[in-house]
Amino acid sequence: MNVFDALTPLAARRLRTSVVSPFAQAYWDRLNDQGYARSTVRLYLNCLAHFAHWTSRQQVNLSALDRHIQRFVDWHLPRCRCGPSVQRRRPSMRAALGHFKIVVTDAGVLRDTEPLSQVDEQLLRFDRYLFQMKGLAASTRRRRLPCWPPKLLHLWPPQIPPPDRGLIAA
């Protein structure tokens, strides 16, 4: 079956006119080969179509796919105004885009592993300090660090251990 026939005309158009398009058939094949239920395949395809729609309005480089997905999930989804028909649930979106990352990688697209600059590392250290020593929540820290660079969005919120409550109270 052609992947574009499995979608509504709007979702198929969004998928077909994006950087995601060359991988769409392999994506659909992968999900079916792995035995996913038809409803799950349709759900994930609609998630991918939403991501595809978003990429058409961004400068998306597939070698930096991790960062783009993180930005889409953490920044776009909470503010999404793409219309009532798009998928917005984060768990489904993360699962769907996880499969997409595998398809893109299997196709030979190399992922960007750009090293962090000194400023980036200082921002990460400062954020860790605000979290571990001051006990600030991620939403508060994000407001306090509006200069958080887009290339670090994949690190947000940073994967750091929870604060030691005894240390903070001292």
For residue 108, give the DSSP letter.
T
| Token pair 């729609």 in the structure block, residue | 53
Taking the least distance from each CB to Zn ion, the nearer of 80 and 109 is 80
User: Measured from the CB of residue 77, what is the shortest distance to Zn ion in angstroms?
Assistant: 7
Closer residue to Zn ion (CB): 14 or 67? 14
> Are the C-beta atoms of residues 62 and 23 closer than 8 Å to each other?
no
In the complex, the smallest distance separating the C-beta of residue 89 from Zn ion, rounded to whole angstroms, is 12
Q: In terms of Cα–Cα distance, which of 87, 145, 84, 83 is closest to 120?
A: 145
Of the pair 81, 165, the CB lying nearest Zn ion is at 81
Residue type, 63: S
- Find the residue with minimal CB distance to Zn ion: 82
Select 80 or 116, whichever has its Cβ closest to Zn ion: 80
Q: Which residues bind Zn ion (CB under 5 A)?
A: 80, 82
d(CA 128, CA 131) in angstroms, rounded, equals: 5
Q: Which phi and psi (to 5°) does residue 86 adopt?
A: -90, 155
Nearest approach in angstroms of CB 162 to Zn ion is: 31
Reduce the DSSP state of residue 148 to 3 states and report it.
coil
The least CB distance from residue 10 to Zn ion, in Å, is 13
The smaller minimum CB distance to Zn ion, of residues 87 and 130, is found at: 87
Q: How far is the CB of 39 from Zn ion (least distance, A)?
A: 21
Query: Which residue in the block uniquely carries the two structure tokens 């392999």?
Result: 26
The owner of tokens 């994006």 is 18
